[in-house]
Amino acid sequence: MEGDAAGVEINVAAAGLMSSELLRELTFRRRGIATALLLRAAAFMRDELRAEFGLLFCRHEVAPVYARIGWVPVPGPTWFAQSSGMRPYPAETMILKCSDRDWPPGPIDLCGLPW
């Protein structure tokens, strides 16, 4: 997937990595399941997709789960298209560096609808 960050086109891998049910179900917490899934997804984005960055959206309260394995919040707004016009994405936007390239500063334009 290609997107636009501060007018610079970048190659990102974006996907739904886990169900919020997994995070909420107490019997699955603190067992390393989320960490294992995230590490495998990161390896796939880097090694198989050859993405420059991973990109995800999450609720603010679960951002620390991703931060523990290297995902960082992106400062500035993330914009997406709606039939009524461009809108800021209401959740946390985070990236994972998968290459030597630095994330460009500035807003992100998803260049279309959110998925």
User: DSSP string covering 71-97, please?
Assistant: -EEPPS-EEEEETTEEEE--SEEEEEE
Q: What angle do CA 41, 45, 51 make, to 5 degrees?
A: 155
Instruction: Give the distance, in angstroms, between the CA of residue 57 and the centroid of all CA atoms in the same chain.
Output: 5
pLDDT of residue 112: 80
pLDDT of residue 98: 92
Global pTM reads: 0.75
The domains of the chain are located at 2-109
pLDDT of residue 37: 83
List per-residue pLDDT tens for the chain, 115 residues long: 445 455 667 666 665 555 555 556 656 667 777 788 888 988 998 999 999 999 888 888 889 988 999 999 998 899 989 888 999 988 899 999 999 999 988 888 888 877 6
Backbone φ, ψ for residue 78 (5° rounding): -115, 125
pLDDT of residue 31: 73
Task: Specify the CATH number of the domain 2-109.
Answer: 3.40.630.30
